Amino acid sequence: MPIYDLVIIGAGWAGFNAALRAKELGLKVCLIDSHQIGGTCLNYGCIPTKTLIACAKIFSLVKRSSNFGIELDNLRINLAAIQEKKDKVIRQLSVGMQSKLSGIDFINSLARIISAKEVKVVGRVINAKFILIATGSYPIGLPELKFDSSTSLTINPEQGRRIDRKKIISSDEALVLLEIPQSLLVIGAGVIGCEFASLFSILGAQVTIAEKMPLLLPAEDRDVSRKIEVIFKKREIKVVTGADISTFDIENYSKILVCVGRAPNTNGLGLEDLRVKLKNNRIVVDDYLKSSLDNIYAAGDCTGQLMLAHYAAYQGVMAVQNMFSSDRKKADNSVVPACIFTEPQIASVGVKENDTLVCAKRIKVHKFDFRASAMALIIDEAEGFVKIISNQETGQIIGASIIGPLATELIATLALAISCHLTVSEVGAMIFAHPTFSESLRETLNKP
């Protein structure tokens, strides 16, 4: 039986990118997953949600076509065709990912770690010098609103089509709905909740979004949170903050979408028997992503840190580097862009104004409204703003939040600026093309 240099449990974004890095280093690698390659991101998260959102965006634009002098009639949504578009994107990306795994042994199986250097799969035990756990996360339910587990698909004899009978659903089920719910209650106004509220509102559902905190997107800049609430209300999304779920009558809604967070997926791995340190089911790792056992590392959502696919990929690569290189580096999460694909988009990186107020840092706030952007007016998407935070003493850019068109693309420039310790004057002196959205960054910083 061969001894692998590295066995990776979990083929999501952390495990997949870790496997590719290990392959580049010439290591003998085994990748294990009981589900599809790509994990949550490809199959139940980033890719399918953004595909559906892109389809909804097209529908939204077409509905506003008269603003551009184009008259269209008899618009309708073909949800089955939208779902097929989503599935096609997933299939195409999956094929590409599988081709990259050439030279890496892939085992489609459940896995259990039985010793610090042994992993049990169906029918055999695999030996490894190092083990990387990258098992991701799963949607959290609510005790008072448990996800429906009954058979979801039944046949309507009158119409001869399938009907989804599940009422209380997670984001996983929301991605495969066969029809647009007439009324939808979204519980939880974090990233996932707000994205689905925006999506289904555009597609025609009557949406209510409920959040127990005082603001939507409580982790974002407060001005951004207030702005998206105003925009949601303009679009006839009912917003309830400071919500008490017990006061809602679930019979009033076609579907209840529970989006209250995700939990690390660590059950069944045998970690308790090995005395791998856990905290609230997440694997505790040090700055180098090593667990409490020397040759077992962890990356991605199972560590319970930033649950973002791009950060998981970064952690996976960093973990491999630290296992097999003498030049060990600490994993850094100080400059990680966060993107929310609502309509309009939201993105942030670094510190936020509310963070700096708590820390009593001396800052300067630079702000630019998209209503002053030529390109925003051209495409009729002028809702939102750019907010950039700089250190008042050094002029260095330390944070940014954007709500508006192409926010998820614009944030990359500011992430680079923060990583390179660039100042307001340095970025403000750059030449941005006109007319573009990118020039709004220069406008933000050059405002008197």
Q: Which residue has the tokens 């020397």?
A: 294
By three-state DSSP, how is residue 338 classified?
Answer: strand
Specify the DSSP element, H or E, that contains 155: strand 153-156
Q: Which residue has the tokens 């994993």?
A: 331
List the structure tokens of 267: 């059950």
Q: Which residue has the tokens 């008042």?
A: 392
Q: Clarify whether 310 is annotated catalytic.
A: no
Residue 125 is given by DSSP the state E
Distance from C-alpha of 306 to C-alpha of 315, rounded to nearest angstrom: 10
Residue type at 371? R
Concatenate the DSSP letters of all residues of 7-59 into one string.
EEE--SHHHHHHHHHHHHTT--EEEEESS-TTHHHHHTSHHHHHHHHHHHHHH
- Alpha helices, H only, 308-423: 309-324, 353-359, 374-378, 407-419
Q: 106 exposed, middle or buried (CB, 10 Å; 0-12, 13-18, 19+)?
A: middle
- Is cis: bond before 435, omega within 30 of 0? yes
Residue 365 is given by DSSP the state E
**What are 163's strand-pairing partners?**
154
By three-state DSSP, how is residue 137 classified?
Answer: strand
By three-state DSSP, how is residue 298 classified?
Answer: strand
Q: List the catalytic residue out of 35, 310, 366, 434.
A: 434
Distance from C-alpha of 440 to C-alpha of 181, rounded to nearest angstrom: 38
Q: What angle do CA 15, 16, 19 make, to 5 degrees?
A: 85
By three-state DSSP, how is residue 142 classified?
Answer: strand
Contact 336/310 with Cβ under 8 angstroms? yes
Contact 124/132 with Cβ under 8 angstroms? no
Separation of CA 378 from chain center = 29
Other beta carbons within 10 Å of 249: 7
Residue type at 157? P
Helices (H) and strands (E) in the chain, counts: 14, 23
List the catalytic residues. Answer: 434
